[in-house]
């Protein structure tokens, strides 16, 4: 998976060749480079670096100095690389794009996980990921400290509002989903749907777009009969309030879809 993603990224950026580097840098020139954190961050995506340099060749030594999940500060060196200067230059942007993006996801994930510490609630990520990068972004979220929810539509049952509409109701959707022999999670939007799901013996409920006060009230009615996940509009600013409602889980798409790239630089010198 990583090799294919890297191949596409390099092909997109380099294409027929790095014309600036070929014009300016002699073919025999050797160099050393280092990836340096410029701000506080949680490192992620370091496993992509070997695939990048293996794909291009001309690298004698790659040293990964931090682990995925390491908390880094300004001027911390994440990795060093030594080899052909042309290779280092043509791979620079692709390597940084992966490290900055994935470390941004991990950093946001760590902030979310820290925000709910000392509660009984855990944070989940979602499927709101960059197309083609889901596995890498979910790895980054996990090393940041949140729990991966389902990877895709194939590995967990989550009956949502449109499934319920298409099936003809909550009960019909639940009964049909149970034929898979897997745990069934059901999204409910009204108190009537909540009670119908509980009457069907559902053990995992998704409550969407409630305020913390509303969520606390609904969870009081559930009274431990099912695990509860809250979603919808959950951000770093309000996740603590949702975690304190008594929910078992909160999920936030912001961890992946709104993560900002962190500041990592590549410093190179001739060797």
Given 34, 135, 208, 263, the catalytic residue: 208
Residue with tokens 């949140």: 146
Active site residue 187: yes
**Cβ–Cβ < 8 Å for 206, 231:** yes
Crossing angle for the helix pair 85-115 and 134-144, nearest 10 degrees? Answer: 50
Q: Give 211's contacts (C-beta < 8 A, 6+ positions apart).
A: none
Select which of 32, 93, 176, 216 is catalytic.
93
99 in Cβ contact with 34 (< 8 Å): no
Of the residues 18, 187, 193, 229, only one is catalytic, namely 187
Catalytic residue chosen out of the listed positions 38, 40, 82, 128: 128
Three-class DSSP category at 115? helix
Q: Residue 76 catalytic?
A: no
Distance separating the N- and C-terminal Cα atoms of the chain:
33
Does the annotation mark 160 as catalytic? yes
Burial of residue 182 (CB within 10 Å: 0-12, 13-18, 19+) is exposed
Active-site residue, 208 included: yes
Angle 72-254-161 from CA coordinates, rounded to 5°: 150
Q: Which DSSP state fits 147? A: B
Q: Are strands 77-84 and 59-64 parallel, antiparallel or unpaired?
A: antiparallel
The verdict on whether 138 is a catalytic residue reads no
Candidate list 40, 134, 150, 160, residue with the active-site label: 160
Nearest Cα neighbor of 99 from 135, 65, 68, 138 is 68
> Which residues make Cβ contacts (< 8 Å) with residue 247, sequence separation at least 6?
121, 207, 215, 219, 228, 229, 230
DSSP code per residue over 2-34: HHHHHHHHHHHHHTT--HHHHHHS-TT-EEEEE
Catalytic residue numbers read 93, 128, 160, 187, 208
């Amino acid at each position: 998976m990583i090799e294919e993603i890297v191949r596409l990224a390099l092909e997109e950026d380099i294409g027929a060749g790095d014309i600036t580097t070929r014009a300016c840098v002699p073919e025999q020139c050797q160099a050393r480079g280092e990836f340096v954190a410029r701000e506080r961050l949680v490192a992620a995506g370091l496993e992509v670096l070997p695939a990048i340099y293996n794909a291009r060749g001309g690298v004698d030594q790659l040293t990964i100095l931090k682990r995925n999940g390491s908390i880094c500060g300004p001027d911390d060196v994440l990795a060093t690389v030594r080899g052909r200067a042309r290779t280092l230059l043509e791979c620079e942007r692709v390597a940084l794009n992966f490290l900055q993006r994935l470390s941004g996801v991990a950093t946001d994930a760590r902030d979310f996980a820290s925000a709910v510490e000392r509660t009984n609630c855990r944070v989940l990520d979602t499927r709101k990921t960059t197309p083609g990068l889901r596995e890498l972004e979910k790895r980054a979220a996990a090393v940041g400290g949140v729990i991966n929810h389902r990877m895709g539509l194939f590995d967990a049952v989550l009956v949502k509002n449109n499934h319920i509409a298409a099936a003809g109701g909550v009960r019909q959707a639940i009964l049909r989903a149970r034929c898979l022999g897997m745990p069934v999670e059901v999204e409910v939007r009204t108190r009537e749907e909540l009670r119908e799901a509980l009457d069907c013996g559902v053990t995992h409920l998704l409550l969407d777009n409630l305020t913390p006060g509303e969520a606390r009230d609904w969870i009081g009615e559930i009274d431990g009969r099912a695990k509860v996940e809250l979603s919808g509009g959950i951000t770093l600013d309000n996740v603590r309030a949702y975690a304190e409602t008594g929910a078992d889980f909160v999920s936030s798409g912001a961890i992946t879809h709104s993560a900002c790239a962190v500041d990592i630089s590549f410093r190179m010198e001739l060797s």
